[in-house]
A and B are shown apart, each in its own frame.
Chain A
Amino acid sequence: AQSVTQLDSHVSVSEGTPVLLRCNYSSSYSPSLFWYVQHPNKGLQLLLKYTSAATLVKGINGFEAEFKKSETSFHLTKPSAHMSDAAEYFCVNRMDSNYQLIWGAGTKLIIKP
């Protein structure tokens, strides 16, 4: 069965330092993986998407993620955190059916000045 595990419920970094948000998945076939972001009291927005074209995926706002099949991971990174990056981030995988997604529990990113 497909699943998604976000390894940290909260991550706190200082402004200007690197960001790492961890996601592990399980899938019985080639996954489609996404990262979405939710800013406080706002809707959700797609950051980036992996669909097997390239293992390193670049997204919006300087974020990128690397698909590592051997580690079943899809970690999200950014070289330098900005205060505006404070939000909740969700790792998402496609389920068996083409019509349903499974969402991780989310990681809250806190940026310290």
Chain B
Amino acid sequence: NAGVTQTPKFQVLKTGQSMTLQCAQDMNHEYMSWYRQDPGMGLRLIHYSVGAGITDQGEVPNGYNVSRSTTEDFPLRLLLAAPSQTSVYFCASSYGQGSYNEQFFGPGTRLTVL
């Protein structure tokens, strides 16, 4: 099993550009989520999904869109990139529909917005 994979590993954008961060898992997990990690702040939840076709907002959803057309994939779209979105982004998945099970994390995407 590859586990949770994320692409790209690094990305530099200019303000106003858009892009999609890819996330895929091969463990047939129902729950998937996107976090951003900023220094001194821990991880903050952006969006999550409890199954294909179902998504919901987390703590910091503004400026991001998600969709879940399959169990395996959960892409995160930045619509109009801003310097405040410079961060490290982690995708995670877990068995079941709740957040009470172990989450498996991808390696992260380091995004810089100039």
At the interface, yes or no: A70 with Cβ under 8 Å from chain B?
A: no
- Chain B residues whose C-beta falls within 8 Å of the C-beta of A99 in the assembled complex: 31, 48, 50, 56, 97-99
Please measure, in the bound complex, the distance between the C-alpha atom of A2 and the C-alpha atom of B66, giving whole angstroms: 26
- Interface residue count for A (Cβ, 8 Å)? 20
**B48 adjacent to A105 (CB under 8 Å):** no
Please measure, in the bound complex, the distance between the C-alpha atom of A32 and the C-alpha atom of B108, giving whole angstroms: 25
**B45 adjacent to A100 (CB under 8 Å):** yes
**B42 adjacent to A105 (CB under 8 Å):** yes
**B99 adjacent to A44 (CB under 8 Å):** no
**B45 adjacent to A105 (CB under 8 Å):** no
The A/B interface has a contact count, at CB < 8 Å, of 51
- Select B42's contact among A51, A95, A103, beta carbons within 8 Å: A103
Please measure, in the bound complex, the distance between the C-alpha atom of A95 and the C-alpha atom of B99, giving whole angstroms: 9
Please measure, in the bound complex, the distance between the C-alpha atom of A105 and the C-alpha atom of B33, giving whole angstroms: 19
At the interface, yes or no: B106 with Cβ under 8 Å from chain A?
A: yes
Task: Identify whether the interface residues of B are mostly helix, strand, loop, or mixed.
Answer: loop
**A101 adjacent to B45 (CB under 8 Å):** yes
Please measure, in the bound complex, the distance between the C-alpha atom of A32 and the C-alpha atom of B94, giving whole angstroms: 15
Task: Identify whether the interface residues of A are mostly helix, strand, loop, or mixed.
Answer: loop
**B98 adjacent to A43 (CB under 8 Å):** no
A8-27 interface code vs B (CB 8 A; 1 in, 0 out): 01000000000000000000
* Residues of chain B from 65 to 93 with CB closer than 8 A to chain A in the complex: 90, 92
At the interface, yes or no: A63 with Cβ under 8 Å from chain B?
A: no
- Asked if A46 meets B102 with Cβ closer than 8 Å, knowing A9-B40, A105-B40, the reply is yes
A42-66 interface code vs B (CB 8 A; 1 in, 0 out): 1111100101000000000000000
Ranked nearest first, the 9 interchain pairs of A and B with the lowest CB-CB distance are A103-B42, A98-B98, A43-B105, A44-B105, A103-B43, A46-B102, A105-B42, A32-B100, A101-B99
